[in-house]
Each structure stands twice: as C-alpha cells, then as structure tokens.
Structure 1
Amino acid sequence: MSNDNPRLLNPNPNPEGMLAIPVKKTDPVDLHRPLRKLVARKYSESDAEKVESVLETLNRCRSDMVERGDLSLPKLRDCLIHYFKCLCMVEPLFTAISSDADADADADPILFVWYDAFSSGKEGWVPCQPNCIQLEKAAVVFNLGAVCSQIGASSERTTPRGRHLAIDAFNAAADFFLKLWKVFAKDVSATLDLTLLFAESLHCLFSAQALELNLQQQLHNNNSSALQKHRCAISFKSVSEHYRRAYDLIQSDPAAIEHVSSFDRTWITHLYQKVKFCEEEALQMRSSILPKSQLPVQSCVLDHDAKFVTKKLVKGICGRAYQWIPKLEGIYLDLVLSEYIPFKIIDGGKLVAHPWDMPPPYPTKFAISSSSSSSHLLALPLKKSKPLDLYQPLRNYFVVKCSESVAKRVEGLFEMINKLRSKMLRDDLSLPMRRDCLIRYFKCLCMIEPFFPMPTALNPPIFVWYNAFYPKKKSSQHNIHLEKASVLFNLGALGSHIALSCDLTTIQGRRIAIDALHDASYWFLILTHEAEKASATTDLSISCAQMLRQIITSQIAYLECEFPHSHSHGGGYPVSLLYRKIYDLMTFGPLAEKLVQSSIPQFIESKMKTCRVQTGLDVTELFLSGYCEAQSLLREACQTPYLDLLSEVGPYKITDGILWPILEAVTLALEEVNLSGNTPTEEN
C-alpha cells in the first residue's frame, strides 16, 4: 500500500481504542447440597454418588467465578467454560425442581441474582425466578464474551503474535454474544445488558474489531500491489458494515443510548468515527485499484527466516485445528477414553469431573481390552511402519537452515514428535492410549508440515509404511503426507477396534461403540482429502477410504437399530441395503480383486439382517445429554487456537517465543502470561 496517505502510516485510526466490556457480577449461592438431595430423592443414593464429582466441581467453579479476584483472564476463561459445561449437565435437575410437586416443604431454594455489567457497584440488579437456570446460563455466556473481549483489548497488538491472539479473542467474544443473541437471551427477563439488542450490538462490535485487526495484518505487510489494495478495500467495507450495525442498534433505542453513555460516553462517538474512517478508506481504495479481472495472481513463498519459525509451527497447528475439534458424535467416546478431557465416565457409570485448573493428562480409569468381544462388528487392520528417528534430522535441518539457537527453541517439540512416533507403533499399548498417541502425533505432524519437503536437509527422514491389507507391499517416501495419511488410516481402524471390544449388552458399551464408529468414519473422511497428496499403497487411495467409510456407516446404522435412544439412521433406509451396497462395491467394484482374499466381504455378507433390543436412561445419561448440549454450543466460540495457547490446561504453550509441548504425565513449570501490560513482545 502506498505510504503517501498520512492516515495509513498507522493503519489503526485509534490504536488504543479497542473496546472491551466488564464482566457481570453475581451473589454467591450453594448448588451442591440442594442438587445432591434432589438426585438422591428422585433417583437413589447410589445415583447421587455417581454424579457427586460433577456437583462438587459445579459448586467450586461458581465459587471461584464469584469470589476469586486473583484469577488471570485465561484462568477465568477456563473456569467459566468448565462451569458452563457443568451447568448444562445439571440443567435437567432444575427442570425437575420446578415441576416437582412432591418436593419437601423445607427443600433448599436456589436463587440466582445477577447485576448489570454496565452499571457501577451493584446497581441495576434483577433477581431471578427461583431455579431459573436460563438466566444463569445467559450470564455465564455473557461473561465468557466479556473475558475474551478483555483478552483481545489487553493483547500487545503491535506484534504478529499479539494480533493473532487479539483476533482469536475478539472472534471468540463475537461468537459468545452471537449465542447469547440467538439462543440464551430470548427467554430471559433480566437486566438491559442481556437483551437481544445489546447481545446483537456486542456481537457486531467484536466482529468488527476482529476484522479490523485482520485488516491491520494485511496493512502490516506494506504491500502496495493491486491485489493487496483490492483485499484491503473489501476488508474496510466489511469492517465499516459491522461497526455501522453496532452503532445503529444502540442509536435506535433511547434506553440503550442512556445505558451506554452512563457506562462510557465515548463509546458512541468511537463507533461513529470507526464507521466514517472505514467507509472513507474503502471508497479511496476502490477508486485506485484495477478491475478484479486484471488483478495479478500472487503466490505465497514459504519463508524460513529464523524470526518466524515458532510462528510457522503455531500456524501449522492452528490452520488445521478443524481436523481435531471435538466432534459431537464422539463425545461419549472422549469422555471414556481421552486423557485430556476433564470430564470422565469410569466403571459403573460414575461421572468424574476434574477441577477446572488441574492440568492434563487425566486418568481414564476405564479398561478397553484389545480383544474382540462381539461378532456383530468388524475391526479393520492397522497399518505397520518401520521405526524412524525424527529428532535428529529435524534438529539438524533447523541448525543448517536457521541456527543452533533457533533449533534449541523448538527441540522440545522434536523430542515430543520422536517419542510419539515410537509410542504409536507399540502393540502393547491399550486402545485408549494408542488413540490419544495417534491424535497428538497427527497434531505435531501438522505443526511441522510447512517445513516439508526439506530439500536442503542432509538426511531427510524417509517414511516407510506397509499396506494394511497386503503387508508385503510398502511405500517409502520423504513426503510427509504419506505419514499423515497413514496416521489417519490407523485412527479410523483403531475406532473399529474400540467398537469391537465394547460390551454391546450394556447401554454404556453400545454408546461407546457407536461413538467409536462415528470417530472412525470422521478420520476416514479426512483421509479422503489427505490421500490426494500422498501417492502410496492402495489402502490409502480415495476409493478405499470411501469404501471403508461406507462399511463404518453401515455398522453405525446396525447398532442404532439395536439402540433406539441414539440418533436414528434417518429416513428408515434399511441397514441390510446399506450392507448390500457395500458388498456389491467390494465384490464387483475396482477394489474387488484386492479385497477378495480378505475376510471383509464374508463379514458384510453375514450382516444382511438386523435385530433390535430395548434400553433405558439413567442419571448418568441425563447429565451426558446436558454435556453434549454444552459442547455443541461452545464448539464454535472455542475454536481459537492462538487464544487456547494461553489456557492453563492446554497441550501447548508459548513462553518467550519458545513453543513447548506438554510432555506426557509432566506439567512444565511455565511462566504465566501477564495480560495486564507485560506480555512478551517478541514476534513469534
């Protein structure tokens, strides 16, 4: 961009003017005692013991949220997310309290009181109706948005890392206020800050600030090309539209104008100035660029400058975060198997909730054997690989390409990668441990992918993988996509092994099996995309991945017929026809010759019939339905890779520009990120 416009020397018209909002305040309330009494009365004492840990964690989270003023912003965010999940898990109990005509006369009431965030002290409060959990959930979602807005506003936005963090934080805030606007504020009669008007205006405000920082990132490149000007013109227009919507919403309501002015009278002026500035810049840029058809196509050259090594590693994992974001179909599976999910189901259906500030890993305490216990499901074979030392070639590459000091900054990651690769090949690992290992290794591969291929490396690593169906055939390549595709295949195959090992005579066993198969189907879906980049054995071909997905889909439908409380298969498409379609594909399609000698066609042929059993729900299932809702609501707002690097319980940290993986069973003593003004300023 040309520098002859003095206003654009600093692309942000008000560098210190990013807006943030305060959190709502509330009065303390005890939740553990009345809810436990209710569970014991409505269900049984043994059921109360099953959910005791969740109730204790719920109570502690709320207490910390209300009474602990020493929490940093990242810790407060962790606490609020944990509390929201617990709150959704116990929500059915509040419905029971409200409708319980037989409740004891001396039953403990639960009364939530929240204060307006924009009012000083404890003015503008509205007491909630007894047991009305909707206000509580709405207020917590509001506070999640408020905390994220404060993280964004307090970030050091003069550095690339600070801008990425602020963008993630403002986007998260916008998503939380979108949920407040679309979901939670509709049925809540409360203070003005929880109205639909305020929720929408705050959503637009923080969306605008995230877009503005993205625009700053473009301007920071100091690129005056026509293509860059075209992009900036579009960005200025989008930013102005979001600021305009936030401004118009407040201006349309006299009560809103008075409310905002009493909090900070400069807000409305600030929004107006942002609108006018962005509109003017959009017009100026549009008048100085070529037609879109004449814009040059620019390629992105990978820069290995030492200054940006950590940034690229982080970008590698952040850019592909969608691939391992918790999937709704696999929630039950993660609650049982994952070492890194803080809520667990252990033997007997007991729910365990680890404290919000306890770092992972968390013990699963649930045994999944590697032996088959069901003749109804098919386990796919796992791919084998030759052992490989990744630490030395990766480290040597960074020493040669960058420097010894740069290699030291990331050698912790290389140690972790090497350890995970060796571990994932061990046949003596339990299925849960192997699954966690594969997922963590896949994340690491995504982090280092931007540095492949390594043409200047003296000894680039050679990945060797054998065909899962024909072990005598192998593929040997420097291509990291072969490694990624093979790991994805094994994640899918491992899901089928987990499903096969489940006890299908129990509710919990069937739920785990269905989730494990959904998980397998998802990994095979990702494999169909990765397979395009990996020229390898036929088991990694797109057609094979699609066929394996169909096999998994048929088994899911088969189990759902036996498990009516799960989501049904849809329009009643007969399971037998699904199996018939796969059988025809395998015996007459392009893969027939390769699979005819395996046991898969014989298995599919035997599954042309279905059966049905009846099941019921218990208190654990009741809580899990709430947990699923929480995961669904939080999923979009919590897809914030850079912001999650601040989490006290995340698997990766950045300290002084050094990327640290959290090693297995070890919590590294990392310096806490200070968001009050002392954030490290290194461009990482």
Structure 2
Amino acid sequence: MPTAQSVMLAIHCKKTDTTDVKTPLLTYIRATYSDREADDAADDVEKVQSLRAEVGLAQSGTQPGVRDTLIKYYRCLNAIETRFPISKEKSAAQVNFAWYDAFRPSRRVVQPNLHYEKAAVLFNLAALSSQAGPLGQLSTEACGLFALLRESESPKTDSPKPMDLTTECAGLLEKLMLTQAQECVYHKAVIDKKSPNVLARLAKQAGTMYDEVERAFAAPSLANYFDKSWAQHVSLKASIYQVEELIQLGQQYRSEDKVNNQIAVLKEAFARLQNTRRIARAISTEMSDSVNRTQVRQFPGSAVRSARSLSRYTESVDGLLRQQFDRLAAATDNARLKLAEWELPDTLKALDARPPSALPEALSRELAEIEAIGGVNHLKGILAEIGELRREVDADLMAAQ
C-alpha cells in the first residue's frame, strides 16, 4: 500500500459493426428539403461517415488519436440531433446503430436511436479514460463521463436496453471510478508523507467507498451480470483499506504513547488481515477462469490482459498482503518494546499473583487499624465532614468580606 503500487480495474471499450450513416441522412434531406440541400450537405455528411468508420476501426482503444476521434464524433452527433431526427418512425432518418455489450461481447443490440449511439460513444470515452494516463485525473474524468451517460443518454435509449448502458450499470461504474480516484488520493498522501492520522482517514474513506461499490455489484439487476472477479476484487480492496486504516491508527497511537489503544487496533488489524488473505486466495482461484474478461491496471502503469493480467494481479495482491503483514509485525514489536520499557504487563501480573501476606509489615498494621475503626466507610465519613467544614469556612470568609 504505501509504495503506491495498487491494482485497479479498467473498463473494456464496446465494439461495433460498420454502420451506413451517409445514405439514410442524405435520403432524409432530399425527402424533407430538396436535392440541392442534400448536395450542399454531402461533404459534411461524408465527414460524419468517415468519423463513424474510424470509431468502428478503433475498438481496442490502443490506436493513437482514438480519444480525439470519439470526441469529434460525439460533437457531430450533438449537431445532428438538433437537425435530423433519427428513430424508427417512418418520417425520421432510418440509421440502425449496432453495438456489442462491453461485458458480454456476444450480445449484440441494434437500435435506430441517436441517443443509443451517443450513449455508446460516451461509454467508450469513459472506458478509455479508465485505461491509460494519470490514474487519479483520468479516473475522475471517467467518473464524470459515466455520470453524464447515466443522467443524459441512458434514459433515452430504447428498450430492451443493453445492460452496460443502463442507468444502474453506469451508476456502478461511476462509483467504481470515483472510488479508484479516492484510492489515488490515498497513495498521493503516502508519497507526500502525510501524518498517520490523515492517512487513517483517507484509508477509511477508500474502504467505505469500496464497500458501497461492493453493495452495488450485489444489486438485483447486476448480481449475475458482471464476472465474479469484479465483485471479489472490490471486496478485497475494501478489506485491504480497512486493515490499512487500523495500521495507520496504530501508528498515530504510538506517536501519542497510547500503547493500550495501539495494541487493540493492531489485534483487530491482524484479524482482518487474515480475512483479506482468504479473499485474495479465492480471487486467485476463480480469476484464472475469467481473466480474459477482466482488465486490470497498476498504479502507476498500464493495462494488462489474459495470463499476464492474472500473473501481475496475483503478484501485486500477494505483495500488498506481505507488506501489510510485515508492517503489522513491526508495529506489534514496537508496542511490545514500549510495554517492556514500562515493565508491563509483568508488573501487573506480579501484583495480581502477590498474596496479601506479602505486604510490608508497617502497611499491614495501618490497614488493620483502619479496619478496626470502621474501614473504608469511616474514611468516607471523615471526608464528608471535611467537605462540610470547608463549605462553612468559605461561607464565613464571604460574610467577612
């Protein structure tokens, strides 16, 4: 964790088939306006067709300039929306847009709906932002794009909607990207050597956000949609940051010489770390069957896939767990040294084991005398009388003034 090495999820781009945008648009212009208007618009429509072809060819997201192409095409779609209706109505331009589900690539959905095309383009822009570049900045950008998809385009697509373009899925991916951005904030704070108190708060926030994402994966509409490794990865991250919070709290308590609190949180951290290890083992077992459908990233680093994804993922997770165990062991040793300096808990054990007869003789005689005159109750009575006398003296002094 503190080395700023962390595995993060990236989103695959949606794939599409070749779509003829030019012919339906020119046909609509001729039917609605005139041949002359169609001839005047031919060059602009040709540019739109060219951009659509580039979008279709750049489906892996690795080609240079693909992000700029998607942005230009999205702007063209916004311009088309204000001029030409594209829908299944006979009076509208009949353009059938075909896209494949990003998480279920065999599922193909065709809709004559411009908002469906815009939603798919926004999805791919968000996916690209999750795959490359400065993680914190682009995770935040991906979050914003998924939010725009959820709010603006997803509700306007036709039914049945592909699951990856539903408001539920877009909302989940929005939360996931925001959570990974928060994780980057934590790593930046570690690099900047912030105080353990600050790091504990940031780790707690990251763990809480990963918990929320895990619950989103379990929503009825999405429970059987994503591969299990996605939800397991998020569960692992939530557990890791819960442990990290406790370790940082232990460091804070150590700086304040609150050894008892430090020991308590370190015990809790150790128990939770055992659970984290179990989650990691489950992921390593099941991820081998599904790694081709999961894309992961490292901080800092680039996207990796297939067998390399599994290898790097398991290596990174194992490294994180080993590091946390080492840090936990070091913190525990420090707590033990502090107890040894205070001669604890041996002193307490010695006092508990010491029989009453082992008290010094003079102290035993004084205790016997106190017991003879009434014991503790007698002493309490004397203290009460002293308190009453003090109040009377204070009253006399006030009267004299």
TM over 0.5: yes
Corresponding position of 2:178: 207
1:29 and 1:40 map into 2 onto residues whose CA distance is 20
Distance apart, 1:176 and its partner CA: 0.9
1:276 and 1:214 map into 2 onto residues whose CA distance is 18
1:185 and 1:89 map into 2 onto residues whose CA distance is 19
Q: Deviations over 1:132-174 (max 9, x none)?
A: 111111111111111111115xxxxxxxxxxxx2222211111
2:109 and 2:59 map into 1 onto residues whose CA distance is 23
Alignment gaps of 5+ in structure 1: 1-7, 153-164, 291-673, 678-684
2:139 and 2:201 map into 1 onto residues whose CA distance is 20
Q: In structure 1, which of residues 61, 75, 82 is the aligned counterpart of residue 72 of structure 2?
A: 82
* CA pair 40-269 structure 1, distance change in 2 beyond 3 A: same
Q: Describe how 1:521-536 pairs up with structure 2 within 5 A.
A: none
1:286 and 1:141 map into 2 onto residues whose CA distance is 41
Q: Find out whether 1:126 has 2:109 as its counterpart.
A: yes
* CA pair 286-73 structure 1, distance change in 2 beyond 3 A: farther
Q: Find out whether 1:113 has 2:113 as its counterpart.
A: no
Q: Find out whether 1:259 has 2:249 as its counterpart.
A: no
Corresponding position of 1:10: 3
Distance apart, 1:98 and its partner CA: 5.4
Q: In structure 1, which of residues 254, 274, 279 is the aligned counterpart of residue 237 of structure 2?
A: 274
Give the match's secondary structure for 1:19: strand
2:86 and 2:164 map into 1 onto residues whose CA distance is 29
Counterpart code for 1:170? S
Corresponding position of 1:249: 216
1:64 and 1:143 map into 2 onto residues whose CA distance is 13
Counterpart code for 1:63? A
Counterpart code for 2:107? G
1:213 and 1:38 map into 2 onto residues whose CA distance is 49
Corresponding position of 1:135: 116
TM-score, scaled relative to structure 2: 0.57
Root-mean-square deviation over aligned CA pairs: 2.8
1:286 and 1:179 map into 2 onto residues whose CA distance is 38
Q: In structure 1, which of residues 26, 36, 41 is the aligned counterpart of residue 26 of structure 2?
A: 36
Give the match's secondary structure for 2:9: coil
Corresponding position of 1:167: 136
Give the match's secondary structure for 1:257: coil
Give the match's secondary structure for 2:65: helix
2:208 and 2:45 map into 1 onto residues whose CA distance is 44
Corresponding position of 2:131: 150
Q: In structure 1, which of residues 72, 89, 103 is the aligned counterpart of residue 62 of structure 2?
A: 72
1:249 and 1:221 map into 2 onto residues whose CA distance is 32
Corresponding position of 1:54: 44
* CA pair 238-43 structure 1, distance change in 2 beyond 3 A: farther
2:231 and 2:184 map into 1 onto residues whose CA distance is 20
Maintained 8 Å contact 2:86/2:114: no
* CA pair 197-69 structure 1, distance change in 2 beyond 3 A: closer
Distance apart, 1:32 and its partner CA: 1.5
Maintained 8 Å contact 1:61/1:79: yes
* CA pair 176-74 structure 1, distance change in 2 beyond 3 A: farther
* CA pair 9-285 structure 1, distance change in 2 beyond 3 A: closer
Give the match's secondary structure for 2:96: coil
* CA pair 71-49 structure 1, distance change in 2 beyond 3 A: farther
* CA pair 136-277 structure 1, distance change in 2 beyond 3 A: same
**Percentage identity across aligned positions?**
26
* CA pair 18-47 structure 1, distance change in 2 beyond 3 A: same
* CA pair 276-52 structure 1, distance change in 2 beyond 3 A: same
1:54 and 1:234 map into 2 onto residues whose CA distance is 54
Maintained 8 Å contact 1:200/1:246: no
Residues matched between the structures, number: 255
Counterpart code for 1:168? Q
Greater helix fraction, Structure 1 or Structure 2: 2
Corresponding position of 2:282: none
1:43 and 1:97 map into 2 onto residues whose CA distance is 18
Distance apart, 1:245 and its partner CA: 2.0
Maintained 8 Å contact 1:229/1:285: yes
